[in-house]
Chains A and B, each alone.
Chain A
Amino acid sequence: MARTTVCVTAAEAVAGVTDGASVMVGGFGPSDCPDLLIRALAEAGPRELTLICNGPTGRPGGSDSSLLVERGQVRKVVCSFPVPPTTSGEMTAFERLFREGRIELELVPQGTLVERIRAGGAGIPAFYTPTGVGTVFAEGKEVRVIDGQECLLERALRADFALVRAHRADTMGNLTYRLARRNFNPAMAMAADVTIAEVGEIVPAGELDPDAVVTPGIFVDRLVRRGGAA
């Protein structure tokens, strides 16, 4: 892999995301997503994107992945959590477009979703899992009995780009995370052709404890620092 580029601006970091690209967006929900990169991607304006994330559940005006949906830049969403649990409050952009038949959804159980992404990064083209047997999630999938247990064949997921968010990075692209903020980020960082990380701080190589690195720089192509705290 080429060495990691440290970008000065988020616009520079998301350069090259073209119409029709597939984009993974890390974070568990609207509050911990790479919002700097998402805003830059909304500004850059590529359309017909396939968005792979936990769920575009931010309310209108937010800057989570729902912003890209709201701007009409997304053709299809692959996620486990497309809508907020209740219908109280203002309807999300995704739910509105989905009801109008203007956006496609591939709903995936969360554990299957994150494992498909991990598999994509790990060179495992597909795997069998018992999750979803006998439910709508089994539709169109090969079912096989392994050691007496019915399982579904699930295919790996990869993307053209992954936008992830981490706590600290060094100039080699090594990333550390804090507390609950790992979630999808480490798996997505492995599963894209170009991985772009926004981080709270970028330190010189050698300043991160190698034992503390969760995502090694081999998976990270571009870095950009957030203005404030990550």
Chain B
Amino acid sequence: MSGGERLSREAVARRVAAELEDGDYVNLGVGLPTLVAGYVDPSKTVVFHAENGILGFGPAARPGEEDPDLFDAGFRHVTLRPGAAVVDGPTSFAIIRGRHLDVAVLGGLQVSERGDLANWMRPERGVGSVGGAADIARGARRVYVAMEHTTRDGGLRIVRRCTYPLTAVEAVHAIFTDVAVIRVTAGGLVLEEAAPGWSVDAVQAITEPRLTVSPAFREMTV
């Protein structure tokens, strides 16, 4: 079963950005999720949270204009938007754990059919860094995973049960990949959208759990 072209990371980020709502407070993980900030509709007010203690950061600082005291959780030198605030670690994680955060967009290594997330450790390395991911995946009101649908070798990442160490159980609400948009529901995974050129069968062929096709199934807008 052959599919179409895989979407670029930027196209996946743009699709996730469309999901953000006016007024949302959002935490973005490192890697692909970081790109989401660049595609938010300017008519929406979305406040980005970095777990090292910033609310309201903006784009990366221009070269030569970096403030050494201003960086996000991935150590990128960022800028602040009007209305930004800085907090300490306990307050930053009170925001997360206390369910004040509307959305988290996290990277993923594996997601299971019941929404378990594994994203902090590749077992073959023998050690990994969980950072804030376990708190964020548990605490955010809506947890989106943005990742490539399969590994570089074609290994499945959307699986019945994760084999990698878990970040959080039953935490993921939706998966945005370079091939599809899939919601996690009590009844299992629901295929909402497929990238141009991808049939339902082609997406199913690289997805281990059985997909239910949404009545509103459509081609992804890219």
A and B interact: yes
CB-based contact B139/A131 at 8 Å:
yes
Shortest C-beta distance, B207 to chain A (Å), equals 23
CB-based contact B93/A55 at 8 Å:
no
Shortest C-beta distance, A208 to chain B (Å), equals 17
CB-based contact A182/B88 at 8 Å:
yes
Closest B residue to A188 by CB, please name it. Answer: B89
B60-99 interface bits toward A, Cβ cutoff 8 Å, 1 = contact, 0 = none = 0000000111111101000010000011111011001100
Closest A residue to B78 by CB, please name it. Answer: A180
Interface CB pairs A-B, < 8 A, 21? A32-B69, A81-B130, A82-B127, A105-B127, A109-B130, A109-B131, A109-B133, A110-B134, A111-B132, A114-B90, A115-B90, A130-B139, A132-B168, A135-B166, A136-B166, A177-B88, A179-B69, A179-B80, A180-B54, A182-B87, A186-B90
Cβ-based interface call for B169 (8 A) = yes
- Give bound CA distance, A14 to B42, whole Å: 50
Cβ-based interface call for B30 (8 A) = yes
CB-based contact A83/B128 at 8 Å:
yes
Contacts of A83 in B (CB 8 A): 125, 127-129
Chain B interface, DSSP helix/strand/loop, else mixed: loop
B16-52 interface bits toward A, Cβ cutoff 8 Å, 1 = contact, 0 = none = 0000000000000010000000000000000000111
CB-contact partner of B129 in A82, A99, A115, A118, under 8 A = A82
Contacts of A167 in B (CB 8 A): 69
CB-based contact B131/A187 at 8 Å:
no
- Give bound CA distance, A31 to B52, whole Å: 13
Cβ-based interface call for A134 (8 A) = yes
Cβ-based interface call for B53 (8 A) = yes
Contacts of A129 in B (CB 8 A): 97
Cβ-based interface call for A213 (8 A) = no
A182 with B131: in contact, given A114-B90, A134-B169, A135-B165 (CB under 8 Å)?
Answer: no
Contacts of A81 in B (CB 8 A): 129-131
Shortest C-beta distance, B96 to chain A (Å), equals 6
Shortest C-beta distance, B23 to chain A (Å), equals 24
- Give bound CA distance, A80 to B75, whole Å: 16
Q: By the criterion of a CB under 8 Å from any partner CB, how many residues of chain B are at the interface?
A: 44
On B, residues with C-beta under 8 Å from A are 30, 50-54, 67-73, 75, 80, 86-90, 92-93, 96-97, 116, 125-136, 138-139, 165-169
Closest B residue to A129 by CB, please name it. Answer: B97
CB-contact partner of A183 in B88, B129, B134, under 8 A = B88
CB-contact partner of B51 in A110, A134, A135, A214, under 8 A = A110
Contacts of B50 in A (CB 8 A): 180
CB-based contact B88/A29 at 8 Å:
no
Shortest C-beta distance, A159 to chain B (Å), equals 15
CB-based contact A182/B89 at 8 Å:
yes
CB-based contact B52/A183 at 8 Å:
yes
Cβ-based interface call for A133 (8 A) = yes
